[in-house]
């Protein structure tokens, strides 16, 4: 009996742990609005989805777009209603990030390329 309780407790712990640490999935298309992004490397990951009206009431928000494989294809950062940056992401056939086109606040555009992993 005690072993059953321990096994059940462990199983519930694993289910909760795995569900909390899974990668988010995103619906294709956009625009979708977010209050934050995560990550220091490309592609950035939007978190804390909000409505359009919530975004418009904030000083800082992000707009994101996704492809049919739940990958982010574009993210824009807005501060006080003005575009601060825009990243457009491109992936190879294996799903690796291939390049990112970056539009900075100044309007300057640059492209970064990435090596293939597969």
Q: Is residue 73 part of a domain?
A: yes
The 10s digit of each residue's pLDDT in 24-47 is: 678 889 999 999 999 989 999 999
Domain ranges, residue 45 = 2-113
pTM: 0.76
The tens digit of pLDDT for each residue in 64-106 reads 999 999 999 999 999 999 999 999 999 999 999 999 999 998 9
Segment (H or E) for 104: none
> Is 58 within a domain?
yes
| Domain total in the chain | 1
In a domain, 118, yes or no: no
Asked if residues 75 and 95 have their Cβ atoms less than 8 Å apart, the reply is no
Residue 98 lies in a domain: yes
Judge whether 49 lies within some domain: yes
């Amino acid at each position: 009996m005690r072993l059953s309780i321990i096994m059940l407790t462990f199983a519930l712990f694993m289910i909760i742990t795995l569900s909390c640490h899974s990668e988010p999935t995103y619906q294709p298309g956009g625009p979708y609005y977010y209050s934050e992004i995560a990550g220091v490397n490309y592609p950035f990951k939007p978190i804390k989805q909000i409505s359009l009206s919530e975004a418009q009431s904030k000083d800082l928000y992000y707009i994101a777009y996704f492809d049919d494989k739940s990958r982010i294809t574009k993210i824009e950062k807005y501060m006080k209603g003005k575009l601060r940056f825009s990243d457009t992401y491109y992936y190879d056939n294996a799903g690796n990030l291939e390049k990112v086109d970056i539009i900075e606040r100044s309007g300057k555009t640059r492209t970064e390329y990435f090596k293939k992993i597969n």
